[in-house]
Each structure stands twice: as structure tokens, then as C-alpha cells.
Amino acid sequence: MRPCVVAVSTISKVPVSSAALPNTASISNGLRAWPWYVLAIAVIGLDQYTKALATATLHYGQPLPVWSWFNLTLQHNTGAAFSFLSDAGGWQRYFFTAIAWVVSSVLVVWIYRLPRGHNLLALSLALILGGAIGNVWDRMMLGYVVDFISVHYQNSYFPAFNLADAAISAGAVGMVLDSFRVRSPADEQVIKE
């Protein structure tokens, strides 16, 4: 229960109880979620632009060294993030497409219902949403996901990835950081509704 604070209205000079004022931290984003959707669309656009640029300028499988630990290497990934299940035989295209659409739908609703002021979580969800749709677009249109970022240390290579994978990873880190945030009972009530 919130403490009752008495304020004076600047319009009518009548005392107003804080119990009558809405707790903005417990009001969901609703239509104010649009900046997070714009961010997700920007992630999709940047991801698709960089993939098109990589496809147009890089030769498949031939690394282009940028720094001693960083190459641009065009790869076609038929699996999930970081080439997981890429050798599974083709069924994974439909499986990962279906999962991505379900997750994306859940994220759209989650961002909409998220209480105002939960900016780190909203940012994280928007990054994951944009990354998921960026990769599912490739999977639906091409049958594979275009990867082109390759990092390594000496002869140990991390699986090639793209900006959508990076956005999903950054969003996941943001969600972990947000999980340490202290929540009010009002926030929890809005999330449950």
C-alpha cells in the first residue's frame, strides 16, 4: 500500500490525495510501446542491410581479415544461432521458423503489457524481437540465415554470426541484468494481469 500524500491542485487549489493518483510505474506501456517497436524495426532493417551488403561484397567461405581477431566471412546457416543444428537435414528450417514466430508474438504482447518505466527490460525485449524477426526473414526467404561476422583467437573460431544474433545476445544480457531489479508489488500485479 502506498503512503497517502496530500498535494494541492494548481488549477483548483483543492487538496488531492495521492491515493487517487495513478501509479505510473504500474500502468502498462499500451500505445506508448511504439518506440520499442520502432527500435525492433530498426534492428531488422540494419540486420537485413548488413546481410545484403555482406552477400553482395563477400565471397562465400573466404575470410576477409579486418583485425587479427576479427574477420568478415560469408556463411549460410541452416541451423539456429551460432550454427546450432545446422547439419540436421532440413527439418530445422520449419521448426526454428515456427519457434521464432511464436516467440516474436509473445514479445510483441509482452512489450505492450510491460509497465512503464521498465526501460531496460523493454530495450532487451525489443532487441530480441528485432533479432528474431531478422533471422526468421532470412530463413523464410532464403532457407538459411546469412552470417558474416567471425571472431577468433589464434586457431579457435567462434561460430559465425550476424547483427540479429548480436541483438538477441545483447537482449538476453539485458534481461539478466533487469532480473536483478527490485520490483514493486504494483509492477508484479500488472505483469500478472
> Residue 39: is its pLDDT beyond 50?
yes
- Predicted TM-score (pTM) of the model is 0.74
Most confident stretch, 92-106, 137-151, 162-176 = 162-176
User: Quick one: pLDDT at residue 1?
Assistant: 45
Domain membership of residue 29 (yes or no) is yes
Stretch 34-61: mean pLDDT, rounded?
96
Name every residue whose Cβ is closer than 8 Å to that of residue 35 and which is 6 or more positions away in sequence.
none
Among 155, 99, 104, 153, smallest CA distance to 125 is for: 104
Question: Picking from 21-25, 87-91, 184-188, which range would have the lowest pLDDT averaged per residue?
Answer: 21-25
Burial class (CB in 10 A: 0-12, 13-18, 19+), 33: buried
Stretch 124-147: mean pLDDT, rounded?
93
Domain membership of residue 164 (yes or no) is yes
User: Quick one: pLDDT at residue 22?
Assistant: 43
Question: Picking from 7-11, 52-56, 67-71, 91-95, which range would have the lowest pLDDT averaged per residue?
Answer: 7-11
Domain membership of residue 53 (yes or no) is yes
Number of separate domains in the chain: 1
User: Quick one: pLDDT at residue 185?
Assistant: 60
Q: Which helix (H) or strand (E) holds 57?
A: helix 34-57
User: Quick one: pLDDT at residue 19?
Assistant: 44
Domain membership of residue 8 (yes or no) is no
Catalytic residue set: 147, 165
Q: Please, are residues 113 and 191 in contact by the beta-carbon 8 Å criterion?
A: yes
Domain membership of residue 138 (yes or no) is yes
Domain range for residue 145?
Answer: 23-192
Stretch 49-65: mean pLDDT, rounded?
94
> Residue 44: is its pLDDT beyond 80?
yes
